[in-house]
């Protein structure tokens, strides 16, 4: 199993025909999470065949337009498609007012349940949890209140060791769940079989963090320490370090330094400024510091495993 990351847009600021603002799909366990939703995201979702109905949770990092201007259109389209499934939006305080004002004025309330989970804490907090996945915020440092998001699989069930189980006809299929849950097994003759004899350790839970937009902010490394995949913004190259500082964005080198410091397994960089026509500079600048760096690219699917 793996976490899958599909890039719908990985450019900063204004949308262009072949450079869409930020949006991505994070597929983890049975979830299809949408992270950020710049203008045109719904068209990108169609282009890359993401089923609208699978999206039940949308995470918005901050209220700069290139990260959320596509949300009202997506919410409206869900309505036009007669969606019934509930939708949860996790976003900085204020987004609920923006969306509901527009729905009110257009007299177009959603017929499906729409829930806003407004964020305002500057400390990391758990914002979604079920039996398999946990999502928490990563407070970032940008010009306005911004959160990254950490997506973590929970430790799964133990896996059946079918070779070992085959020795014991007493163990029936209906016992498997008990074994997966870690329980020992009692044979008919009273012998206790240790669970570790019959099962294997569960897969290591995977984790992925999305960090955009932010200036170079080493404080996050304690939260994202040792994760399997990190998407970190790299708006500029090092030659624009001063501009990065003023606008509270990162350079490719900054992103790589964060990845190195946090000892993540894989770094994906994006949120490129349109001033750079060629993206090779981002890759080489980052790789100088952190070798396992990849470039985000629209439509590309990254496997975090």
CA distance 194 to 254: 49
Angstrom distance (rounded) from CA 188 to CA 37: 58
Q: Which is nearer to its own copies, 38 or 148 (CB)?
A: 38
Which sign does the torsion angle of CA 243, 247, 252, 254 carry? positive
Of these residues, 36, 66, 213, 228, which one is catalytic? 66
Our CB check for its own copies shows the closer of 69 and 236 to be 69
Distances (CA, A) of 77 to 17, 73, 81, 84, 260: 21, 6, 6, 12, 41
Residues counted in the chain:
305
C-alpha triplet 302, 219, 294: angle, nearest 5°: 20
Chain position carrying tokens 């306005």: 144
Instruction: Note the residues at the interface with its own copies (CB under 8 A).
Output: 13-17, 39-40, 42-43, 46-47, 63-65, 69-70, 72-73, 76-77, 80-81, 92, 94-95, 97-98, 101-102, 105-108, 143-144
CA distance 73 to 84: 17
What DSSP string describes 239-253?
A: GGHHHHHHHT--BHH
DSSP-assigned letter for residue 132: S
Nearer to its own copies by Cβ, of 15 and 270: the residue is 15
Shortest Å distance, C-beta 136 to its own copies = 23
Q: Which is nearer to its own copies, 13 or 138 (CB)?
A: 13
Both tokens assigned to 304: 């975090």
Query: CB of 86: closest distance to its own copies in angstroms?
Result: 20
Smallest distance, Å, CB 73 to its own copies?
5
SS3 helix, strand, coil % of the chain, rounded to 5?
Answer: 30, 30, 45
User: Would you say 106 or 191 has its CB closer to its own copies?
Assistant: 106
Query: Is the distance from CB of 54 to CB of 28 less than 8 angstroms?
Result: no
d(CA 33, CA 186): 42
Question: Least CB distance from residue 44 to its own copies, whole Å?
Answer: 9
Q: Nearer Cβ to its own copies, position 95 or 304?
A: 95
Which token pair is 15? Answer: 């949308």
Is 66 marked active-site? yes
Q: How far is the CB of 75 from its own copies (least distance, A)?
A: 9
**Closest separation between CB of residue 103 and its own copies, Å?**
9
Catalytic residue ranges: 66
């Amino acid at each position: 199993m793996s976490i899958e990351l599909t890039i719908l847009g990985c450019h900063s600021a204004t949308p262009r025909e072949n450079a869409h603002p930020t949006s991505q799909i994070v597929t983890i366990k049975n979830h299809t999470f949408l992270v950020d939703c710049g203008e045109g995201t719904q068209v990108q979702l169609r282009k890359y065949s993401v089923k609208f109905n699978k999206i039940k949770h949308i995470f918005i990092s901050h209220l700069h337009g290139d990260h959320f201007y596509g949300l009202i259109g997506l919410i409206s389209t869900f309505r036009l498609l007669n969606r019934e499934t509930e939708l949860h939006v996790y976003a900085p305080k204020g987004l609920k007012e923006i969306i509901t004002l527009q729905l009110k004025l257009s007299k177009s309330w959603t017929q499906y349940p729409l829930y806003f989970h407004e964020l305002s804490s500057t400390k990391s907090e758990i914002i979604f949890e079920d039996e398999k996945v946990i999502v928490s915020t990563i407070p970032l440092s940008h010009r306005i209140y911004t959160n990254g998001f950490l997506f973590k699989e929970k430790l799964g069930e133990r896996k059946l060791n079918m070779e070992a189980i085959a020795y014991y006809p007493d163990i029936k299929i209906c016992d498997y769940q008990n074994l997966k849950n870690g329980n020992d097994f009692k044979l008919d003759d009273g012998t206790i079989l240790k669970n570790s004899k019959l099962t294997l350790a569960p897969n290591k839970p995977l984790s992925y963090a999305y960090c955009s937009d932010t200036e170079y902010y080493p404080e996050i490394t304690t939260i994202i320490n040792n994760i399997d995949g990190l998407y970190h913004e790299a708006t500029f190259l090092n030659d624009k370090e001063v501009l990065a500082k003023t606008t509270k964005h990162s350079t490719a080198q900054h992103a790589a330094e964060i990845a190195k410091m946090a000892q993540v397994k894989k770094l994906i960089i994006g949120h490129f400024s349109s001033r750079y026509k060629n993206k090779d500079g981002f890759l080489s600048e980052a790789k100088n510091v952190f070798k396992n760096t990849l470039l985000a690219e629209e439509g590309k699917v990254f496997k975090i495993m």
